Every structure is written in structure tokens, then in C-alpha cells.
Structure 1
Amino acid sequence: MPAAVRGGSRAKARPSPKTAPKAARQAPAARRAPVTEHRGLSPRLALTGAVAVLALALGVTLATGHRGQRLASAIGSGVDGRFGAAGFRLKTIEVQGASPMATADIVRAAGVYKNQPLLGLNLTTLRKNVEQVGWVKEARVVRLLPDTLVISVAEHRQLAVWQHDGRQFVIDDHGQVIKEADPARFARLPLVVGEGAASHAPEILPVIAQRPRLIGQMDALVRVDDRRWDIRMKDGSLIQLPADGVDGALMQLERLDQRSRILELGFDRIDLRNPDVVSVRPRAVQALQSQTLAAPAGARL
């Protein structure tokens, strides 16, 4: 048996504020920066000029064929610059729906920076980059002119800590590893151990969670030969579950506990692999042989 060792909300990430117009200091786009006065073109003049440039680009593209693609790209950069001069530059990033632990990873994946032209951002590419973050289930990205980018995400629910080959990982409710999550910060999550434990954990953990007395004393779920589970209790005792019919086996355990308070008295091992026979090995030193409680098939214990 492998050894086991235990290790949403709205958040804002904004660029750092400028201290004074004469001594502007660059800061990450994840902190807020106040909108400062611009001495360039007014937004109205910039917009009018940009429309004129776009019309010219379209005409040149139609007249020059493929050469116009390169020219249009260069003109597009000029349009971004005009809008940037008018104040449409990134000052604030708002991350919505992410936990504090996930926010930094999301901002890093977005790859944007302070004073970047806001209208030049490719929102589709940005959204795909954010959705590559292990925390993120899905994302939505919106521009709020003149200077704010909003990233709204839905996070995967953290289900358990998975231990395998001497390493630990946080897994979500689909059994997928959240690569950015630090297992040491999720000590309250159930521990599942062994090969195949991650992919099968979403099946058994909801069943165990329906039994507060059991899960309150459970230390880990150990996957055996990628076929079935053993429940290792905090006091070192073991409950062996069958490969099939886990819910029925746990109902047998509940009836046994109601009758004899076995979970409180302690035991060395309870074998539930046979649906017709529940075998209990007491922990007492004087009990040298296993006690066997036998019942006909389908009978209530």
C-alpha cells in the first residue's frame, strides 16, 4: 500500500499608479494606475482621423492586391497609435470570478502590459490563453473603454489532493490536475492515493461525502490495482470496498455502525468485498481471530 503524506469571487489586478507626470514609473498591468492627462489629440479628433485612415487603407488594399495586406497591417498599427494617443491604453485589469490564488496566474497568462493600446488587443487569443490556466473552466474577456480590460472566469472546483509516485497534485471535479495549485495549501481536501485514483475520485467522493461519520474519520482513499478502493482511517484501520456495488457496501457498513458503533470502538480491518459476508477484525490484543458476521444474500445486517 502506498504511503500517503498530506501536504468565485471578484478580484482586481491593476497597474501601479504613477507618482507624478515628471517621474512616471512602469509597473505590472495587474495594479491600478490613475488616468493621467494627455496632451495629444482629443478622443474625438483621434476617432475621426482613425476612420479616415481606415478608409484610405481599404482603398489602397483594393488597388494594390496582396501588397495592400502589408500596408493595411502597418496602417492598423498607426490607428492603434492614434487611439493610444487619445488615451485608449491599458491601465487596469479586472479579474472576476477567480480565487485570490488563481488571479495572479490568470493575469500572467493574459500577457498584457501597462499602456498597451487597448483596441489593438486580440480578445479571442487572450481568452484562449486564459483558458489554458489549470484553474479556469471558461473565460470571457471584455474591453471597457477607455482603459480597462475585464477578464471574467469560471473556476474548476477543487475536489481532492492526488498522491502518486511520491508527488501530490490538486485535481478538479473531473479528475484533471490543476497544475498551478499548490497541494500544501489544500490540506482540507480529501486525499486519494495510487494509480487511477485521480480519474475515479469524482465517482466515489460524492458517495463518501453523504456519510459524515465516515468521512470525518477518513484519512485517505487508496486505489487498489486500479480496480477498487480501500478507505484508510485516521487511526490506521482499513475498510476494504468491493470493485462494484460500493454504495451497497457502505450501506452495510452504516447498519453495522448503527448497531455496534464500530466506527467509535475501533477495529483493525473491515472487509466489505463480499456482499453476503462482512468480516470484522477487532483491534483488541486478545482477539486473535477475525469475527465474521454472515447473512444470506439480500438480508439486512
Structure 2
Amino acid sequence: MPAALRGGSRVQAKPRAKAPASSKARSQAKPRGAAPIPHAKLRAAQVVGLSPQNALIGAAGLMAVALIITLATGHRAEHLAQGIETAIDSEFGAVGFKLNSVRVQGASPMATADILKAAGVYKDQPLLGLDLEALRQRVEAVGWVKQASVVRLLPDTLVLKVEERRQLAVWQHGGRSVVIDDHGRVIPEAESAKFPTLPLIVGDGANEYAATILPAVAAQPRLMERLEALVRVDNRRWDLRLKDGSLVQLPAVDEEAALIQLQQLDQKSRILELGFERIDLRDPSVVAVRPRDGALPGQLVANGV
């Protein structure tokens, strides 16, 4: 600035003093080398209008990038990954992403208890830290379950969708009774005493062939309501034991045709109501009926005795 002349004297202008730094500017100054902590990030995110959830998602992405960069550091990368995972779980849990409820869909009440036990999850567990694939495998290891899927519903719910194995029959063999599914596989968790309405099959190999014979028997309601058990004989054919002690012997092949013969016989003479000791259907050309006490009323004989 040029000098100003006043009364013939030359006066040099004084330079303006710099304004002192405001307290606000000093408060915003960042100490050299200081590392921001996660909660500080969340507060900063709120200042600029971001929700804590979005801030954490962004932080998780940055952590993942950092992990990729340090993969060449040997075992240090593994420890870093574990630390990052723990930190993310903790931060997401802090804003509400904790397990609060588990929904089991597609399972009966008896199966649900075993499924929850196998899942091994607990209340307030970090929801985003769950290994969903490992959880699915644990659920599918339960005998009730045919297949399963696991869905995470933020912020606090886990859904276990299962397809339950259909209980087909109670299989009695080797001195014990178990429940089997429609593929003949044992459901270990199912207690046979709790399934009194399931048909009873008996003998070695009965589980393997039950799915074939039972639909044919169930197609005849009058026979089915009188049935006590299906007995596998020499693992090649079936005997049907009725509740009144009667016995129906089926052939090794074409059991359905033999059952149709029995149905026709019953329609003609009501033999299932009258009772008998044995009906032998093993020979498709001859139906042999043995009365329980002498001849049945009307001298029932079908193609021989």
C-alpha cells in the first residue's frame, strides 16, 4: 500500500493483524496420527444425514477393501479378518441387529423343538455374524427334515423354512419300533408311541417295501380299518394280520391284483365281517379260504379250498 502524506509527513500504513483462530476451528482440528473410532464415525454420519445402519454398511465395505489389500501378509491377514468380523458384528449389534425371534415354517410342533435345538442360536446373538450355510446343514441333519433353507430378516429375525419328511409307518423289527418316512428311512427323533394312527409294519426289509404295499391297502377302506399289521415274510412277500386274528397271505408279485380279488370276495360275501382263519391269495388262479371254526355260512369257497 503506498505511503499516505498528511501535513507533509510521510506515514507508513501498518499491516492488518491476522484474526485469531476461532474456537470452532480449533475444535475441528484433527490431532495428527489420531485414528477415528467406529462410534465417532456414526456420529459424523448422523451430522451429514446418514443413518447408523448405512454408516456401518459403508464402514464394513472399507474394512473389506482393507482386508483384500493385506492378504499378502500371511497369517496376519487371517487375524485381521477375524478382528474385522468381530468388530462388524459388535457395531451392527449396537444398532439393533441382534437375534430376537426365530420362525420355523413347514414343520410340525414335534419337529420344531428338535429343529430349534439343532440350530443352536440364542437370543441377542449378532444376526449378521451367523453362518447361514452351516446353520442350514445343522437343520437338515435333523431326522424330521427333508430339506431346509435359512433366511435372515433384518433387523432381528431368523426364518427356518423346512420340508418335513412324511411319516409313513411304524416299523417293528429287532425288538424295537421306529417311525419311517415314505422312503423307508428311520426318523430317529420320532417316538413311535406318539403315532398310533400310522400303520404297523413288521419284519426285516419291511421298511424298504412299505411305500409300495401301503397305498394299495389304503385304497380298500374296509380292509384298512381292520388291519393290525403288515408282516414281511422272508423279505419277499406280505401277510396281512387283521385285528380279529385273521390272516391274509399275499403273493410275492402283483399284490394289487390279489387285493382286488379280496375286495371282490368281500363284496360278494362280506367275509371281512364274518371272520376267517386264513385267506391264501398266493396263487393267482386259486383263492383258498380256511374258516375259523368249520365252514363259513353259505359254504364259502372260491375256486377251491
Mark yes or no: TM-score above 0.5: yes
1:263 is displaced (CA, Å) by 0.7
1:76 Cα deviation (Å)? 1.5
Alignment of 1:1-301 (within 5 A): 42-62=52-72, 64-285=73-294, 293-294=302-303
Matched AA of 1:82: E
Q: Which has the larger radius of gyration?
A: 2
Q: What residue number does 1:30 align with?
A: none
Partner amino acid, structure 2, of 1:78: A
Gaps of 5+ in 2: 1-41, 43-51
Q: What is the alpha-carbon distance in structure 2 between the residues aligned to residue 286 and residue 247 of structure 1?
A: 27
Letter in 1 for 2:119: A
For the residue of structure 2 that corresponds to 1:247, the secondary structure is: helix
Residues 208-258 of structure 1 show CA distances to partners (whole Å, capped at 9, x for unaligned) of: 111111111111101111111000001011000011110111111111111
Equivalent residues of 1:170, 1:183 under 8 A apart: yes
Unaligned runs of at least 5 residues, structure 1: 1-40, 296-301
What CA distance in whole angstroms lies between the structure 2 residues aligned with 1:286 and 1:43? 85
Give TM-score, length-normalised by structure 2: 0.78
Structure 2 CA distance for aligned equivalents of residues 46 and 66 of structure 1:
26
Kindly state the Cα deviation for residue 286 of structure 1 after the two structures are TM-superposed.
Answer: 6.7
State the distance in 1 between where 2:273 and 2:59 align: 79
Q: More displaced, 70-79 or 154-163?
A: 70-79
RMSD: 1.9
Find the aligned partners of 1:283 and 1:214 in 2 and give their Cα distance.
18
Q: Aligned equivalents of 2:68 and 2:220: distance in 1? A: 68
* Alignment partner, residue 31 of structure 1: none
Aligned residue type for 2:165: H
**Does the Cα contact within 8 Å between 1:58 and 1:72 map onto a contact in 2?**
no
- Could you tell me how far 1:83 is from its partner in structure 2? 1.1
Q: Distance in 1 between matches of 2:260 and 2:294?
A: 28
Q: Secondary structure at the match of 1:79?
A: helix
The corresponding residue for 1:24 is none
Q: Could you tell me whether the CA contact under 8 Å between 1:84 and 1:118 is conserved in 2?
A: yes
SS of the counterpart of 1:223? strand
Whether contact under 8 Å (1:131, 1:137) holds in the other structure is: yes
Does the 8 Å CA contact 1:139/1:152 hold for their aligned counterparts?
Answer: yes
Q: Give deviations 1:135-155, integer Å, cap 9, x for gaps.
A: 111101010011110000111
Structure 1 residue identity aligned to 2:111:
A
Q: Deviations over 1:90-145 (max 9, x none)?
A: 11100011111100101111111111111111111111110111111110101001
1:168 aligned counterpart, secondary structure: strand
1:65 is displaced (CA, Å) by: 4.1
Number of residue equivalences: 253
The sequence identity of aligned pairs, in percent, is: 58
- Amino acid in the other structure paired with 1:122: D
Choose 145-154 or 73-82, whichever is displaced more. Answer: 73-82
Q: 1:243 to 1:169 in 2, by over 3 A?
A: same
